[in-house]
A and B are shown apart, each in its own frame.
Chain A
Amino acid sequence: MKPLRLVPDDTNLPFMSWVKYRTPVSLFLIVVSFVLFFTVGVNVGIDFVGGTAIEVQARGETADVGQIRAQLSALELGEVQVQTIDDARTVLIRIATQPGGEEAQQRAIDLVRATLSADEYVYRSTSVVGPRVSGELATTGFWAVLLTIVGIMAYIWLRFEWQFAIGAVATLVHDAILMVGFFAVTQIDFNLSSIAAILTVIGYSLNDTVVIFDRIREVLRKYKQMPIRDVINLATNQTLARTIMTSLTLLLSLGALYFFGGQVIRSFTASMIWGVFIATASSIFIGGPLLVYFNLRPPPATPSSRKEEDTLPVPQA
């Protein structure tokens, strides 16, 4: 059996010339993310604002969201959100924190249970998060993201030069913004697992970028005279097969989770699938290409004396 080659050998795609398309696309997506974030906002879940979340599944074929909403708003529990998740049967009910402490939250749950009878609905899960805990979770979430960014920056700075660290952080911030944009567009419940998704995507995106960086460094050492632009282009082409292959295996994993992993983690996987696309694109079009603006090569002390045995591929301009 002859192995299939998804990416042909010796690709010579002019990535650096495509960068001129990247900037408007990237900027557009970032602006859209920001605008949506500040107008529509993300659908912040009870993990970060506190409150009660109840997941019910209709025993019948479908759940009547309109009816549930009407029944629950009659209870006067303040802000109540009702949305279907996954399929038409499962409904997530969110109730804002009730004034009056612990007992008040429990009373709200009891009211809902009395209204939506157990004959019609299966109560799948219930969560109550108090204001103190949600505050703490929001703070730790923020610090976890910051800590990851700083940790990765430090690692890249130790292993590479500082220019690479800047390139890496640019990719990372770009990806994080577009991930948040995804949550604003889809209005998926933004909770602890969303932060987990963002961090995992950041980790993966960096993994991808680092592979390209490694190759850029290698090519830099190998071809002492090659212009930076061509170095980046060559390195991106040489690692292209790997980048595509790994993105595909990740998409296979995530696809299996999305289609078979059950409704509980579906939105978590959906956001990561989006993350794999942006991470792949950003590592090809942002991380590497940004290095063009820095002088990566110290002024040559000795004019290139060593000739490499490899034949030098001629990059397209």
Chain B
Amino acid sequence: MLQFSRLAMVSIISVIVLATVVVIPNLFSKETVDGWPSWMPKQQIVLGLDLQGGVYLLYEIDREEYVTTKLQGLATDVRSVLAEAPRVNYESFSSRAAVTQSQAVQFRLTDATQLETARRRLEPLRNQLGTSILGGAAGNYEFDLTIGADGLVRFTYSAAGLEQRINEIAQQSIEVIDRRINALGTVEPSIQRQGVDRILVEAPGLEDPQRLQDLIGQTAEMTFHLVDRSTPTVAVGTIAPEGKIVVPDATQAGVAWLLDANALIRGDQITRAQATLDQTNGAWVVAFGLNTSGARIFGEVTSANVNYPFAIVLDDTVISAPTIQSAILGGSGQITGNFTAQTANDLAILLRAGALPAKLTVIEQRTVSASLGEDSIRAGAIATIVALVWIAGFMMICYGLLGAFSVLALIAQNIIMLGILSLLGATLTLPGIAGIVLTMAMAVDANVLIYERMREEARAGRPVVVALDQGFRRALATIVDSHLTALIAAIALFWLGSGPIRGFAVTLGIGILSTLFTAYLITRLIVAIWYRARRPKAIPL
């Protein structure tokens, strides 16, 4: 066991050298490293939010609300296709089935002879989804349609269709969120998809989650509507007549506007939006520009409705209802409201970034202040150094020269562990640092097993070289067994954990694996070199 081929020796030493090289970028700032030539290693260990300070937000797509909205839209479409001449008669129309828990649009045809007509008209409403380039199954229908022989018609949201839509929504939402946060310009956020319908936003360095949350949480669906000429405002809760909608006012409680159900302009027709100061009264406004089709419609409508108000609706509230002074033909205008510089700017960002395809709800939010992060980094660094010094001292007191060898192996282990963490671009959290510190104890444990075995062998009267050799040989199985059981726990932790805890599992796991290499091979190499050089008469244990 004390024999090493030249190849083995070279490989062990190159692993250590390689690890050292990989660790080096961590000693420099990110900017410095970015300036290095491309052949140099650049991967750095990323500090977790608990060490940097920042905001962690986990969003979930609100499926229920999405399905409800979609079925409401479908209900309107169904009514209108059935109303086309010749009219198809039906009764007990409901957009939510009372019979089952699942949501549905259902009604009963009163004239059995119209069954086929109804089917022909309703079939296209099932809305076959396109073959998704995003990997959704091809040709799923969004809705399932059943027409019973008794004339009962029932639309439900199809499970496959919903999966495909949720998949697309998640992708689109990530793009929208990305545009919105990037417009802020201050943070370097990470936006990741988690599972099917969750989006994780991490913004290091940001202290107040509120603005970020406001920016992401808003659907930002904007529409322009004409206001009813005879009764522009009504009480909140008034039932809207056919073809009209009742939308509450954003600022005046209890007041709602009676608007045309059809939107003149939709948010996606807005091509530019910017916060500016109004020249006349010095108030903050959002100036916007429309695309060609939007500009044409807006021009026609405004010329026909001079002196009447139109409403700007954002996420189901009227944020402003200005009176049209004259025809607006250039396709640009401005939104007034009680804006501050920041709210005007945020609205402009939202309009530019586009609407979210569905409502997102925050289901987990964690904020760590930068000062706590700094405290944690300092504390973690001190604890690591103290632990290293204590363990090194302890090993040297208890095992003398061999103890010192194990300290060398321990340092090599730390470098290799940091090297692997850098290569993986892993995130270092405070529990992760705890994992590193705990691994030190695990690393010397292997040495303890070996040295105790050597002591026993020496006491049994074996010659030095045999005792050394047997110490390594016989401790091996035990080291592997004991480390693997600890590794099982680390794997379970990895699977359990999110964020910081996962960081703990990662360092613990990598630590255990690298320990197997260093404590065994590196200590053995050092002992072999020492034995060859000194030919000791007794083991200094």
Contacts and interface: CB of A to CB of B under 8 A. Distances in A.
Interface of A: 1-6, 9-10, 55, 101-102, 105-106, 122-130, 132-133, 137, 140-141, 143-145, 147-148, 151-152, 155-156, 159, 192-193, 195-196, 199-200, 202-204, 206-208, 210-211, 214-215, 238-239, 241-242, 245-246, 248-250, 252-257, 259-262, 264-265, 268-269, 272, 310
Given A127-B366, A265-B434, A257 B489 contact: no
A141 B460 contact: no
7 contacts: A128-B362, A133-B363, A196-B431, A200-B493, A200-B508, A262-B383, A265-B434
Contacts of A106: 210, 213
A125 B508 contact: no
Q: What 10 A-B pairs come out closest when comparing CB atoms?
A: A262-B379, A203-B489, A144-B496, A256-B387, A261-B383, A130-B363, A3-B400, A203-B486, A256-B386, A260-B383
Given A4-B398, A196-B497, A9 B459 contact: yes
Given A4-B398, A264-B372, A264-B379, 4 more contacts: A125-B369, A127-B364, A204-B486, A255-B390
B217 A200 contact: no
B448 to A, nearest CB: 5
Contacts of A249: 391, 394-395, 440-441, 444-445, 448
Contacts of B491: 151
Contacts of A1: 400
Contacts of A55: 372
Contact of A256 (B363, B390, B399): B390
Given A127-B365, A206-B485, A211-B482, A140 B495 contact: yes
A214 B478 contact: yes
A141 B504 CA distance: 15
A203 B488 contact: yes
B137 interface: no
B376 A262 contact: yes
Interface stretch (B226-234, B283-291, B303-311, B449-457): B449-457
Contact of A241 (B441, B452, B496): B452
Contacts of B497: 192, 196
Given A252-B387, A256-B387, A246 B366 contact: no
A260 B382 CA distance: 6
Contacts of B481: 159, 210-211, 214
B192 interface: no
B483 interface: yes
A245 B391 CA distance: 11
A238 B478 CA distance: 14
Given A256-B387, A264-B376, A122 B437 contact: no
A125 B397 contact: no
B46 interface: no
B437 A3 contact: no
A106 B437 CA distance: 37
B441 A250 contact: yes
B364 A245 contact: no
A261 B493 contact: no
Contacts of B375: 262
A246 B367 contact: no
B256 interface: no
A144 B495 contact: yes
A252 to B, nearest CB: 4
B267 interface: no
Given A193-B501, A249-B441, A253-B391, A9 B483 contact: no
A232 B368 CA distance: 51
B60 interface: yes
B26 interface: no
Given A3-B397, A211-B482, A265-B434, A140 B496 contact: yes
Dominant SS at the A interface? helix
A241 B395 CA distance: 13
A4 B397 CA distance: 6
A297 to B, nearest CB: 20
B399 A238 contact: no
A24 B452 CA distance: 32
Contacts of B482: 206-208, 210-211, 214
Nearest to A134: B364
B371 interface: yes
A202 to B, nearest CB: 6
A207 B493 contact: no
B398 A3 contact: yes
B495 A128 contact: no
B492 A151 contact: yes
B297 interface: no
A4 B455 CA distance: 13
B437 A257 contact: yes
B50 A264 contact: yes
A310 B460 contact: yes
A105 B213 CA distance: 13
Contact of B504 (A123, A196, A241): A196
A268 B493 contact: no
B204 interface: no
Contact of A133 (B364, B378, B379): B364
B363 A245 contact: no
Contacts of A242: 448-449, 452
Interface string B458-490: 011000000000000000011001111111111
Contacts of B433: 261
Nearest to B439: A253
B361 interface: yes
Nearest to A53: B366
Nearest to B213: A106
B25 interface: no
A126 B456 CA distance: 54
B519 interface: no
Contacts of A268: 431, 434
B58 interface: yes
Contact of A129 (B364, B399, B430): B364
A192 B397 contact: no
B294 interface: no
B478 A3 contact: no
- Which among B434, B437, B448 has the highest number of chain A CB atoms within 10 Å? B434
B488 A151 contact: yes
B83 interface: no
Contacts of A141: 496
Contacts of B368: 124-125
B398 A245 contact: yes
- Which among B478, B485, B508 has the highest number of chain A CB atoms within 10 Å? B485
A259 B386 CA distance: 10
A214 B477 contact: yes
Nearest to A200: B489
A105 B383 CA distance: 36
A193 B500 contact: yes
B254 interface: no
Interface string B484-528: 111111111101111011001100100000000000000000000
A148 B492 contact: yes
B460 A148 contact: no
B382 A102 contact: no
B357 interface: no
Nearest to B366: A127
B541 interface: yes
A231 to B, nearest CB: 16
A10 B460 CA distance: 11
A303 B386 CA distance: 56
Interface string B255-289: 00000000000000000000000000000000000
A210 B485 contact: yes
Contacts of A246: 441, 444-445, 448
A4 B395 CA distance: 10
A254 B394 CA distance: 14
